[in-house]
A and B are shown apart, each in its own frame.
Chain A
């Protein structure tokens, strides 16, 4: 356990939990896309599958722990890192050397966390506590609210920005040979970021207007 005390090991843990969550979000996106195509029946079948499949049931607590770990470790690391420079610069120009996304992972992360809490209250809690027959209606119904849809879209743009840095950063933390892989990882990361940001947003906007 002494290894986990190292800053390098903590970054590896952030990377692994982050990539695990990326996998989850892509599966989630694939299921949500069935709302539009093929449509209601496919979506309800997917929800039914997720609710009953034993492997998915097994993964649910793992996913929950993955979220808790990634969030708690992220906040802890940011908190301790902030404490490493007690006297701040009077004039600092960080934009000259690094991307906004890379410097603001904590803020995009916390914004997504806020969304996650609202999301759990809206879907997950009723899903677990009530007998819901029409999942399609529950999901699409909320998008009729313009404020909710706007918040939803902003949250996924935030997540997209988070992933645009997070994906390639995770591989760097895992020690992937940079010269060979970096270009491919940056491109893949950006594609995933765009998919997540536009994919989820498009679904929300579609149901707002339809």
Chain B
């Protein structure tokens, strides 16, 4: 398979950056998208050129490290798929593929396709945890009665891998889907319920301060999210936020 690639190159945070055209031959249909980039980088290194910097880690679709805006969509054209799980059989021989980093002021480019997503970490640090003491004479988790629906919803919210595709996709670069997943995950369980009001206010405050936009409910985040995090979580966040004001 032969491909034309248009890839964003940027030497560092202060470089202006530009799209650069590359041709690649010998791509196999069962390669993952990242393996295709590995191949391209090997070619570049052999030619004495600087390889393209991109984020990756587990390559199993669970770590949230890979990113990439491929042909105008976060993690490429497949649904419920991270870039590492996107395979080259999805593309045609001779196709032109554009590859860009996540675009958001809250995610500054570090180099090429790598962006700084630590803003999400700082939101998480503002309240994405429980501080109730669960050590010592620990009660078995199964002894706490939790309706199955709540447990399922909390678990679904907890599958967010924090990749930032929601921010990259949102026309407002809003992080609401990410933040709402964290808020909803805890708000639906008794251990998290105790601090729900403070959590939602603190996390929203940091989200705003980090320079993310506001949610206008376009729903694009839910569609592009590789883990299928539901917009229901955003409704839960909104409800929790309003309830917290009257507490």
Contacts and interface: CB of A to CB of B under 8 A. Distances in A.
Interface stretch (A23-31, A40-48, A61-69, A174-182): A174-182
Interface string B210-245: 011111111111011000001110111111111001
A91 B98 contact: yes
Given A97-B224, A178-B230, A84 B106 contact: yes
B197 to A, nearest CB: 13
A173 interface: yes
A6 B217 contact: no
A175 B211 CA distance: 23
Q: What class of interface size applies to chain A in its complex with B?
A: 35 or more
B218 A12 contact: no
A168 to B, nearest CB: 8
A89 B100 contact: yes
A8 to B, nearest CB: 5
Contacts of B169: 97
B72 A91 contact: yes
Contact of B205 (A6, A81, A91, A93): A6
A99 B179 CA distance: 23
Contact of A97 (B220, B230, B238, B245): B220
Contacts of A98: 171, 218-220, 223
Contacts of A102: 216-219
B71 interface: yes
B213 A81 contact: yes
A81 to B, nearest CB: 4
Interface residues of B, number: 50
A4 B73 CA distance: 33
Contacts of A5: 208
Contact of A85 (B104, B208, B223): B104
B238 A172 contact: yes
B182 to A, nearest CB: 14
Contacts of A7: 174, 204, 207-208, 213-215
B73 A90 contact: no
B208 A172 contact: no
A103 B171 CA distance: 7
18 contacts: A7-B208, A8-B204, A11-B216, A84-B106, A85-B105, A85-B213, A87-B103, A90-B6, A92-B72, A93-B72, A93-B73, A97-B73, A97-B219, A97-B223, A172-B234, A172-B238, A177-B232, A179-B232
Interface of B: 6, 8, 17, 19, 69, 71-73, 77, 98, 100, 103-106, 169, 171-174, 204-205, 207-208, 211-221, 223-224, 230-232, 234-242, 245
Q: Give the 4 A-B CB pairs with smallest separation, nearest first.
A: A175-B239, A93-B72, A7-B214, A81-B172
